[in-house]
Structure formats: structure tokens, C-alpha cells
Chains A and B, each alone.
Chain A
Amino acid sequence: MDEKNLIKAAKKGDDGALAELFQSSYPFLLKYLLKLTFNLQNAEDLAQETYSKAIENLSRFKGTSKFSTWLISIATRLYLDQERKRKREFNWMKQEQSVRKLKWEAQSNNQVWDDVLEALGQLNDGLRVPVILKHYYGFSYEEIAAIISIPEGTVKSRVHKGIKVIRKELTPIDEGSVRISKTLSQE
């Protein structure tokens, strides 16, 4: 059965079809959440929560977008809500620790953890989420604005700022010092 038919069947109450949709979207969703959280346990918990919300709101899914796109919008909102609560609890250290843990796990498994991922991990959620959605998943500014519930102009400036911050992080220190010494010699 293709996705449209599975969605139709799931809306009619076929749990088997819904389970099939969930299973096929699971790797995509988990990988997306892992890029936001940098924590496998947290990503899995959020994926479970996303599926719970999807079950509750399945009747509202119009089918104009792909099922996985709909799941991503639910997951993003859940993640941002979670982070808002976390900020209130001053749990920022946990995020720092989870980035380090994932980095260590990736390195110990001979996986890739380069400067770009390091810079991405240092970005705050307000910048990281729009950057990933725009440049990796190809969402339009309008779609991101609807997902995060912020004006389109704010999304544009956040994406631009996010890339600027990453670029700054990736600029070698030598290059910066050369620029400074050039300026000093000109003076």
C-alpha cells in the first residue's frame, strides 16, 4: 500500500496501517530529532511523544504534505516546548553534556564529528532549528514560520544569522589574526 492509502486506512481506524506509517517514518524522524537534541535518549522520547500527538491529531491531517513532513512539524514544536521548559529549570548544562556525550560516542565509533557539527551544536535552538529545516530539509521560509509560529521575516534573519555564526566558527584563527595584523600595519 502506498502512503496515501495507508493514511486513508489509518484515518478510518486501521491501527496496522498507522503502525506501518510510523515504522517507515521512524528513521527519518529520529535522525531529525537527533540533529536537534544531540541526545539519543531524548530524541527517542520525543519521537514517542510525536507519535502520541500524531495519533491524537490524525483526523486533522489533511494530507497536503508528506506524512513525515507533518511529523517533523509536530516534533519541532514539541522540542521547542521542551527547551522552553528546560530553560526555565536552568538545565542548559544538560544540553552541553549531551553534545559532549554524542560527540564522544561518534568519535569512539569512528564516526564523523567535524567542526561543522561542533559549530551547529553550539548554536542556540532559535537559530539551529531554522537553519536545519531550511538548508538540510529544504522547507520554505513560510513553512518554517508556520512550524515555529514566528513571522517569516524573523525566520529569514535567524537562518542568515545562524549561517553567519557557523561561518565565524569555521574561520581559522590564523585568518583572523592575519586580518588584524594587516589592519595594524595599515595604521
Chain B
Amino acid sequence: MMKDQSGYPKRSAKNDQDVVDQLNQSLEKFDVAISFETPHPSHFKEKIKIQRAESKKKRLRELLIFTVTAAVILSFLFFALYLQPEMFLLLQVLTVVFICCYTVHVKRKVKMSHE
């Protein structure tokens, strides 16, 4: 197993290298000491079959939800466009504002989680 230690800060590098060596030794011993059973390929085959069937069901369900939601939203928009054009314009503006606010909110959240 390759252990890449390049790009490591030079100051305190020696002490850190000692710690890294100790860490690798301990983890190698840990790897050797762990014992568990590796399942037979037939077990994985069975799991793959189940997973594929579940994914298919999930995709169909998502497609159905998407279609129904799209139909409801579109019919509402067309209804608003023909009967109340002001309402249609208001909806458009509100949607753009919502998307902008949501994007800023998500970006801030991601930034905070990284800090």
C-alpha cells in the first residue's frame, strides 16, 4: 500500500512523520487483527437483484410524482395566465425571488458547515 506523505509542512515535519509512522503501524496491525466473514458471491447477487428491483420501483414512483406535480403546476399557471395575467406575472417574480433567496441560503449553509 502506497503512503503518500508529500506536500507535508516542513516545520515540525520530523515529529509529525514519527506520528504518521506510528499511526500507519497501528492501523496495519488493526487491519491484520480484524476478523470477519466475507459473504459468498451468491449473497451479493441476491442483494443486487433486490436493489435493482427497488431502484426500478423508486424511479417509477418518482416519475409519477414528478408528472402529477408538473401537471398541477402547469395547469395552475395556464389558468392564471388566461384569467389573471397580473397574477401570472406576480408568480413569476415571486419564483425568481424565491430561487435567489434559496440559493444564497444554501451557499451560506455549505460555507458554515465547511468552517
Q: What residues make up the interface of A, taking CB atoms closer than 8 Å to B?
A: 15-16, 18-20, 22-23, 26-27, 30-31, 34-35, 40, 48, 51-52, 55-56, 84, 106, 109, 111-112, 114, 116-117, 120, 131-132, 134-141, 150-151, 154, 156, 160, 163-164, 166-167, 170
For A15, give its contact among B4, B30, B33, B45 (CB under 8 Å).
B45
Task: Return A74 CB to nearest CB of chain B, in Å.
Answer: 14
Q: What residues make up the interface of B, taking CB atoms closer than 8 Å to A?
A: 1-5, 7-9, 15-16, 19-20, 22-27, 29-31, 33-34, 36, 38-42, 44-45, 47-49, 51-52, 55, 113-114
Q: Given A111-B33, A116-B22, A140-B4, are A151 and B114 neighbors across the interface (CB < 8 Å)?
A: yes
Q: Given A15-B49, A170-B22, are A51 and B2 neighbors across the interface (CB < 8 Å)?
A: no
Pairwise interchain contact B44-A51, C-beta atoms closer than 8 A: yes
CA distance A34 to B33 in the complex (A): 12
8 chain-A/chain-B pairs, Cβ below 8 angstroms: A19-B41, A30-B36, A114-B26, A116-B22, A117-B30, A120-B23, A136-B24, A167-B19
Contacts across chains A and B counted by CB atoms under 8 Å? 108
Interface centre among B9, B30, B39, B42 (most CB of A within 10 A): B30
In the complex, which residues of chain B have a beta carbon less than 8 angstroms from the beta carbon of A52? 51
Pairwise interchain contact B34-A34, C-beta atoms closer than 8 A: yes
Pairwise interchain contact A55-B51, C-beta atoms closer than 8 A: yes
A44 to chain B: closest residue by CB: B36
Pairwise interchain contact A136-B23, C-beta atoms closer than 8 A: yes
For A135, give its contact among B24, B38, B49 (CB under 8 Å).
B24
